[in-house]
Amino acid sequence: MNRPPLILASSSPARRQLMERLKVPFEAISPEADESARPGEPPEALVLRLAEAKARAVAEHRPDALVIGSDQVAVMEGEIVGKPGSHERALEQLRAASGNRITFHTGLCLFNAGTGSLQLDRVPCTVWFRRLTPRQIENYLRKEQPYGCAGSFKSEGLGVTLIERLEGEDPNALIGLPLIRLVKMLEREGFDLLEG
C-alpha cells in the first residue's frame, strides 16, 4: 500500500519514544513555531492552536506527508504552570502541587499536507499529587532534574512516585502524545496500523 510519509513535528525525545511504540516508520522534524500564549487565550485553545501550528510548519517543507503536531500545557487552579527552567522554580511548583491537582491538556493535530485534511483534538489528563515532604521534593528534583518539563513533572520517569492517582482516557497524553486518539486519526486517513 502506498502511504504518505508520516512525520512527527517534534524535537521531544519522549514523543519520539511514544511514536516508536506504534511500530511504524516515521521521521521526527523539529517545527519552527512561536509557542507564546496570546493575551487571554484559554489553555484548551492554546494547545489546539499550537498543535496545528507545529504540524503546518513542518508540512510547508513536506507537502507529501501526514504530519503529527502535539502541544501540552499544565494548569493548576486556573493558571498555566510552565516549564520551571531552574531548581528554585521547580521547588516552588512542586510545593504548590503537593496535595493538589494539575490538569495536563494535550493538543493533537494530524494534518494531511497532500489533501489539506486536518484533524484536531484535545486530550486532558488530571494528576492528583501526593502530599510531599520538602525532602521528597528535593530528592526527586536532584534525581530527575525535570527543569524542561511543565509543572516540574516527568511521569515517564521518577515523577510516577509523586502521583496519588490519574484521571484521563489515555496515560500517553500525560507524556505529550495521546496515542489512542492518534491511532483513530490515522485510521481516518486510511493508515491502519494493524493492517501491515
Q: Domain-by-domain residue ranges, the chain?
A: 6-188
Give CATH for domain 6-188: 3.90.950.10
* Per-residue pLDDT, 1: 55
DSSP the chain: --PPPEEEE---HHHHHHHHTT----EE-------PPPTT--HHHHHHHHHHHHHHHHHTT-TTSEEEEEEEEEEETTEEE----SHHHHHHHHHHHTTSEEEEEEEEEEEETTT--EEEEEEEEEEEEPP--HHHHHHHHHHH--TTSGGG--TTTGGGGGEEEEEES-HHHHHT--HHHHHHHHHHTT--TT--
Which distant-in-sequence residues (6+ apart) come within 8 Å of 128 by Cβ? 100, 101, 163, 164, 165, 166, 167
- Yes or no: say if 45 and 21 are a contact pair by the CB < 8 Å rule: no
* Per-residue pLDDT, 196: 57
* Per-residue pLDDT, 123: 97
- Yes or no: say if 87 and 68 are a contact pair by the CB < 8 Å rule: no
* Per-residue pLDDT, 34: 85
* Per-residue pLDDT, 33: 85
- Active-site positions read 71
Pairing of strands 79-81, 163-168: unpaired
- 102: which strand partners? 127
Whose CA is closest to 89, among 151, 37, 159, 35?
151
pTM above 0.85, yes or no: yes
Extract the residue ranges of the chain whose pLDDT is less than 70: 1, 196
